[in-house]
Amino acid sequence: MKNALFLIQKLSITTVLLWMIFREHRFTVEILPHFQAMVDHWPWTLAGLVFVGISIWLSAVRWEILLRGQEQNITSAEVLRVTVVSNFFNITSVGVIGGDAYRVLGLMQRPGAKKLPLMVSVMLDHMLGMMGMGILFLSCYAAFSHRLQTLGKEAYLILEGFEMFMGGSLVMIFISVISFTPRLYNWGEKQWPRMLGFQPLKKFVTACDALRRDWRGSIMAVLISILIFIFHFLSFHCSIYAVGGEAPLLEVMAAMPIVDAAAGLPISVSGLGVREKTFETLMNALTGLPAGTAVAASLVGWLMSVIWGLIGGLVFLRTSGASLSKMASVEKNAA
């Protein structure tokens, strides 16, 4: 019942947001013609699809590095397969853990796989991904910070606020990594033995300390994270040109972390509506891209990821059909 209400809520918000956007920009007049323009600009669409594929492959590489840090020796082919399939659950699951739940369950079937290291590897994967996105955003932000005063008040406040959010996130990640170290944890355990002496918690922290133990792998994972977001954001840059628009790459790179963060809020289906409005606002403020063009480009960028998600669904049907009931059980228990 709770899942059904959650789905109805997300569908309702998505429908209302899209209706408002399409009504404001007259879908058949300002948006639909841009989709038709993709016929003439098909190389940009193809390039965007390739960039999304590269970002997915790099995501698998990053996760494989973190799995090795957890002493989970899974083949590159298997990690890539599970990563591709997880994208299918990311675009279809009602729950917020769909893709991540599948990543754990997909590898749990492998001989020697252990649940805790797999779960920690997924958590650290997100943590280092956040770090990579923060570094990329702050670098792009610094490159054109001298132009901030020329922007509209709304865009200026959004960028300034996100800069503080990303800076704070990087500081919190750094504090978390320090907290995982055995020396600091042992000190804390002496101060609060009843809480920090809890054995499952100690095992979890020991697993997380892999970031320090395998520091070379962690640095490599952060660098790969930056590349992942570069290629992911390049797909949206291509989508702008695919629908007949134009926009400088630097501004797109600076805006997309904010767009992704907004789309990741669990209030709509796959971020639809939220993504389009955020993309429209920032692209218009930073590049002067017309609203109708921005909305069309955002939808095309999202559809590129959907296509790869559907490819993941085909792979799932061919190789992992038996895991479907387990996925449903996990989401039911998590609800």
Domain boundaries, the chain: 2-6+49-334
- pLDDT for res 247: 92
- pLDDT for res 76: 92
- pLDDT for res 142: 86
pLDDT < 70 stretches in the chain: 1-4, 6-7, 93-97, 320-335
Question: What DSSP line would sit under 261-320, residue for residue?
Answer: HHHTSTTSGGGTTHHHHHHHHHHHHHH---HHHHHHHHHHHHHHHHHHHHHHHHHHHHH-
- pLDDT for res 96: 44
Question: Which residues have CB under 8 Å from 95's CB, separation 6+?
Answer: 3, 6, 101, 331, 334, 335
pTM (predicted TM-score): 0.88
- pLDDT for res 15: 84
User: How would you classify residue 226: left for phi > 0, otherwise alpha for psi between -120 and 50, otherwise beta?
Assistant: alpha
Do residues 89 and 98 touch, judged by C-beta distance below 8 A? yes
- pLDDT for res 332: 55
- pLDDT for res 6: 66
Identify the three-state secondary structure at position 50: helix
